[in-house]
Amino acid sequence: MLPNKSEPIELAGFELRKYPQQMVKNIKTRVEEIGIFFETTGLTPMEARVFSLLLLADPPAMEFFAIQEFLGASKSTISNALKRLMNEGRVDYITKPGDRKRYFRVSSQKWLQQIQEGFATITPFVATMNKVLKLREQTDSPKFNKDLRHIQDYFLHLERELPRIREKWERQQQQESQ
């Protein structure tokens, strides 16, 4: 239960910083909003909320019970969400010397790699669409075939442009790191 508005509360997982109740409410609202987006990427509602909370955490790592307390969910629900997020490579954990707790955080490098690997499926998708369209040549569905070609054209465009975009991004990253 949150204290009254004038009383600061301790926000678990945010390194014992003191936040007024309104700010906690705002963070919970933001976790919910961002979570709704991540549900569209294939995460369950709880996985999306855990991931969103970890994206917003300051410092960017939270221990298990802090996540559970903040989201108000059962141990098993949080545990299952964290296991799946770790299996997908979106989340990992760190430990601190002298502390037996695990602190969960977004694994930004693995997450980026996962996104990049998703882009790698574009070429096989285009090849599959070529087969589909070839097999559909003799069908009596010209509008549907045209719609499929439109989808294929979109992915052909991505296939051509993404390598250039990635190269440009990598050059920018190198320049910024110097």
Residue 59: per-residue pLDDT:
86
Q: What is the pLDDT of residues 57-67, one digit of tens each?
A: 888 899 999 99
Q: What is the pLDDT of residues 120-170, one digit of tens each?
A: 899 999 999 999 999 999 999 999 999 999 999 999 999 999 999 999 999
Residue 2: per-residue pLDDT:
41
pLDDT band at 8 (very low <50, low <70, confident <90, very high): very low
Residue 20: per-residue pLDDT:
64
Residue 108: per-residue pLDDT:
93
pLDDT band at 19 (very low <50, low <70, confident <90, very high): low
Q: Please state, in angstroms and rounded to a whole number, the distance separating the CA atoms of residues 168 and 73.
A: 43
Mean pLDDT of 104-130: 92
In the numeric block, which tokens belong to residue 157? 């465009």
Q: What is the pLDDT of residues 41-50, one digit of tens each?
A: 999 999 999 9
Mean pLDDT of 68-84: 96
Q: Please state, in angstroms and rounded to a whole number, the distance separating the CA atoms of residues 177 and 7.
A: 43
% of the chain at pLDDT higher than 70: 88
**H helical segments located in 40-88:** 45-56, 64-71, 75-88
Stated pTM of the model: 0.77
The answer to whether 64 and 104 have CB atoms below 8 angstroms apart is yes
pLDDT band at 18 (very low <50, low <70, confident <90, very high): low
Q: Please state, in angstroms and rounded to a whole number, the distance separating the CA atoms of residues 11 and 91.
A: 21
163 by Cβ neighbours in 10 Å (0-12 / 13-18 / 19+) ranks as exposed
pLDDT band at 81 (very low <50, low <70, confident <90, very high): very high
Distances (CA, A) of 165 to 29, 34, 116, 126: 34, 26, 12, 19
